Amino acid sequence: MSVPQYSASFSFFSFQFPSCLFLFFIIIVAATSSSPCLANVVTNNGTRRHRQLSVDYYAKTCPSLEQLVGSVTTQQFKESPVSGPATINLFFHDCFVEGCDGSILIASKQGSKELAEKDAEVNRELRVEGFETVRKAKEAVERKCPGVVSCADILAIAARDYVHLAGGPYYQVKKGRWDGMISMASRVEPNIPHANDTVDQLIKLFNTKGLTIQDMVALSGAHSIGFAHCKHFVTRLYNYKGKGQPDPNVDPKLLNALRMYCPNYGGNMDIVAPFDATTPFVFDQAYYVNLQKKMGLLASDQALVLDPRTKPFVQEFANDKNKFFQAFAAAIDRLSLVGVKRGKKHGEKRRDCSMHS
Ligand code: HEM
């Protein structure tokens, strides 16, 4: 087993898998752990959509915004590629709780009764690299255009940059979000999907955000990059649904490989495995191809190929990368409009993204 250096923060293992050289990463990481304004439109499922966000929103007030954020994301991606999945996941968790309003970036106040979103249990796993990307990008932007650009917009742009840097589609980001004034840990749990959710539960949750089944399957393609801690899939390896057997929908070789690193009891809580065991740093359609081979990591990933409502999209995206990219770009555009805030009455422009202004 060779252990080449990839970056100082993690080890890289490779071994023979099926017949070809199969690269498998196991990374040990420190666990890091409104009311609508006039322009908002309330859709029939209760989510708020904003019509006035625009691609050139900062054309006059901060024309170099995208380059400023881009210089940070490019550098971060070189130094620490996990910044990509970390930031994309951060963006998703931001949008699903209180909307895409940077509320996930707020730090809990000492002595306050209610913790901020960031400190909800499921968010404690979010990697620090995502927060660092936004912090650094915001600093660069504040130097050039003080007090103008919201943290929420910076997060949306950074997530797009990383999708593209990892080999995924480039899409235009609409801007004009204001930062939210509410960040409560108690709002997180019911709004974030879980690895053991059924397809029914997932469809319902995405629907409450105004997202379709196709959007959900396309957005799940973000699991083409990134990693998950053992606790999210360990029951699949040993005692699926309490039956004392592994999940029959895990490929036997993947099962053995995952069992090596994720023991049933007493394993290292910081160990993570890649969602896409073939190309974990490349944003491509391999995630869907792998689902067809029983090589999904989470039960919720694998379930997408088992349910007749989601399976046709998995097949379509597995067969056609362009279709996946188009659907992903359209879906993340819709995601990025969820619960957007505008104006002083409902939002703020923070200078330090971790503190209300
Ligand atoms: C469909 C329902 C989804 C479920 C059940 C789910 C669940 C999870 C779980 C359990 C993890 C691992 C967390 C950890 O161990 O640190 C994770 C990671 C991740 N998720 Fe999802 N997720 C879903 C949808 C999405 C969506 C819509 C996106 C983005 C558009 C996304 C992007 C990511 C990324 C990029 C990572 C890797 C993070 C990293 O490596 O730092 N997920 N997800």
Q: Is the predicted pLDDT of residue 322 greater than 60, yes or no?
A: yes
Distance 347 CA to ligand 1 centre (A): 27
CA distance 20 to 166: 23
Closest Cα partner for 123 from 86, 170, 149?
A: 86
Closest Cα partner for 138 from 149, 130, 128?
A: 149
**Predicted pLDDT at 20:** 30
Q: Residue whose CA is closest, atom 14 of ligand 1?
A: 228
**Cβ(156)–Cβ(55) below 8 Å:** no
Residue ranges per structural domain of the chain: 1-30+227-274, 40-194+340-347
CA distance 116 to 188: 9
Query: Regarding the domain delimited by 40-194+340-347, which CATH topology (the fold level of the hierarchy) does it fall under?
Result: Peroxidase; domain 1 (1.10.520)
Distance 89 CA to ligand 1 centre (A): 6
**Predicted pLDDT at 24:** 47
Distance 202 CA to ligand 1 centre (A): 13
Q: pLDDT-derived band of residue 32, with 50, 70 and 90 as boundaries?
A: very low
Closest Cα partner for 237 from 227, 228, 229, 249?
A: 249
Q: Is 114 left (phi over 0), alpha (psi -120 to 50) or beta?
A: beta
Distance 148 CA to ligand 1 centre (A): 31
Q: pLDDT-derived band of residue 52, with 50, 70 and 90 as boundaries?
A: confident
Distance 231 CA to ligand 1 centre (A): 13
The mean pLDDT of 341-345, rounded to a whole number, is: 93
Q: pLDDT-derived band of residue 324, with 50, 70 and 90 as boundaries?
A: very high
The mean pLDDT of 202-219, rounded to a whole number, is: 98
DSSP-assigned letter for residue 172: P
CA distance 351 to 246: 49
Task: Check pocket membership of 331 for ligand 1, CB cut-off 6 A.
Answer: no
The mean pLDDT of 298-321, rounded to a whole number, is: 98
CA distance 39 to 302: 40
**What proportions of the chain, in percent to the nearest 5, are helix, strand and coil?**
45, 10, 45
Q: Is the predicted pLDDT of residue 99 greater than 80, yes or no?
A: yes
Pocket test for ligand 1, best of 10, 25, 89 (most atoms within 8 A of CB): 89
Task: Check pocket membership of 89 for ligand 1, CB cut-off 6 A.
Answer: yes
pTM: 0.90
Structure tokens at 291: 């689902």
Q: Which atom of ligand 1 is nearest to the CA of 125?
A: 16
Q: Which atom of ligand 1 is nearest to the CA of 130?
A: 41
Q: Dump the DSSP string for 90-142.
A: HHHHHHHTTSSSSGGGPPPPTT-SSPPGGGSGGGTTS-HHHHHHHHHHHHHHH
Pocket test for ligand 1, best of 122, 204, 223 (most atoms within 8 A of CB): 223
Q: Residue whose CA is closest, atom 13 of ligand 1?
A: 228
**Cβ(54)–Cβ(143) below 8 Å:** no
The Cα-based distances of 338 to 9, 185, 216 in angstroms read 34, 19, 14
**Predicted pLDDT at 161:** 99
Q: Is the predicted pLDDT of residue 19 greater than 60, yes or no?
A: no
Calculate ∠ Cα 72-78-80, nearest 5°.
90
Residue with tokens 């997202």, as numbered in its chain: 211
Tell me the per-residue pLDDT of 112-165, one tens digit each, with 9 for 90 and over: 889 999 999 999 999 999 999 999 999 999 999 999 999 999 999 999 999 999
- As annotated, the active-site residues are 93
Task: Check pocket membership of 220 for ligand 1, CB cut-off 6 A.
Answer: yes
